[in-house]
């Protein structure tokens, strides 16, 4: 069994093994067994699957040294200032721009809970970075899956494949109530988002020399910007979001080519 098989097997077993039962419990299809811990009922720790999978795969193939090397990359912060700026600003500009367009088309922008409480805006970024997806996922998708895939196929092909796998991993969340605005939309929308976002994340990962911190920051800025600028609550905002995201990916591909910055890494 190869490293990729171990990573994917552990990741999906951990996440789906909690999310699917949680969906059945929430729908009433399954009766909650008496005494079952709350976190198993809600699937509260399911999102940690990619990190768990990455750690298991690293330990299985490289031992404790591999685990330490992977964890060290989570705090690798010495990379070009351009990468810092792109990681922090690119996606908030895309999503914020879509939110503005929604207001122009609809006559009023979707209400932002975050901007109504500005003190919470920077705090929410830190919360999202650590507990809202990036830390739980990027050691797996980029730190393990992308490394292995780029060694076998072109960076662009690897990126599209990872985007599709990433989308499928989220599939049970479409059956969970209150899982987030992404899951109130058609599955194809999430799939297109993960593929396009993967292009930008691969690019920033390669340009930063394989820093997981860089992709965690960009991933956090994506989730945070959706919280601050809820463009997807408007159909016009959703269309503008995809248009701007496609344009950003097009600019990256035009500038770096299908290698997505791998030569600079």
- 24-38, 120-134, 143-157, 188-202 — which is least confidently predicted? 24-38
Residue 238, domain extent: 77-264
Q: What is the DSSP string of 162-213?
A: HHHHHHHHTGGGGGSTTS-GGGGS-HHHHHHHHHHHHHHHHHHHHHTTS-HH
Could you tell me if residue 223 is inside a domain?
A: yes
Report how far residue 207's alpha carbon sits from residue 217's, in angstroms, rounded to the nearest whole number: 14
- In this prediction, residues 109-122 reach a mean pLDDT of 90
- The model's confidence at residue 43, banded by pLDDT at 50, 70 and 90, is confident
pTM value is 0.94
Does residue 35 lie in a domain region? no
Q: For residue 45, is it within any domain? A: no
**CA 239 – CA 247 distance, rounded (Å):** 12
Q: How many domains does the chain have?
A: 1
Tokens of 104: 């122009």
pLDDT at 264: 43
The number of CA neighbours under 13 Å toward the Cβ of 230 is 15
Dist CA 156 CA 97 (whole Å): 26
Give a yes or no: residue 42 inside a domain: no
Q: For 152, which DSSP code?
A: T
Cβ atoms within 10 Å of 145's Cβ, excluding its own: 25
> Is residue 48 domain-resident?
no
Cα torsion 31, 169, 245, 76: sign: positive
Asked whether residue 3 is assigned to any structural domain, the reply reads: no
**Cβ atoms of residues 125 and 224 within 8 Å:** yes
Q: Would you put residue 34 in left (φ > 0), alpha (ψ -120 to 50) or beta?
A: beta
Whether 54 is covered by a domain: the verdict is: no
Given this model, what pLDDT does residue 1 score? 62
Is residue 265 predicted with pLDDT exceeding 60? no
Note the pLDDT tens digit of each residue in 214-229.
999 999 999 999 999 9
Tell me, yes or no, whether 26 lies in a domain.
no
């Amino acid at each position: 069994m190869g490293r990729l098989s171990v990573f994917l097997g552990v990741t999906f077993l951990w996440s789906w093994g909690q999310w699917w039962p949680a969906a059945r419990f929430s729908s009433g299809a399954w009766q909650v067994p008496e005494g079952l811990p709350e976190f198993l009922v809600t699937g509260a720790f399911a999102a940690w699957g990619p990190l768990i999978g990455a750690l298991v795969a690293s330990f299985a193939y490289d031992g404790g040294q591999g685990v330490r090397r992977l964890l060290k990359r989570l705090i690798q912060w010495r990379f070009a200032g351009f990468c810092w700026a792109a990681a922090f600003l690119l996606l908030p500009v895309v999503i914020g721009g879509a939110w503005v367009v929604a207001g122009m088309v609809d006559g009023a922008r979707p209400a932002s809970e975050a901007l109504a409480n500005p003190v919470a805006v920077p705090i929410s970024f830190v919360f999202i970075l650590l507990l809202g997806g990036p830390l739980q996922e990027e050691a797996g998708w980029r730190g393990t899956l992308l490394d292995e895939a780029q060694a076998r196929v072109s960076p662009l092909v690897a990126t599209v494949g990872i985007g599709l796998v990433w989308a499928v991993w989220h599939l049970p969340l479409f059956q969970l109530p209150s899982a987030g605005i992404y899951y109130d939309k058609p599955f194809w929308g999430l799939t297109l988002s993960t593929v396009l976002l993967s292009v930008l994340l691969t690019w920033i990962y390669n340009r930063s020399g394989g820093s997981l911190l860089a992709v965690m920051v960009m991933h956090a800025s994506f989730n945070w910007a959706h919280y601050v600028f809820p463009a997807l609550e408007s159909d016009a905002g959703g269309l503008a979001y995809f248009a701007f995201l496609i344009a950003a990916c097009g600019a990256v591909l035009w500038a770096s080519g299908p290698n997505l910055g791998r030569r600079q890494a």
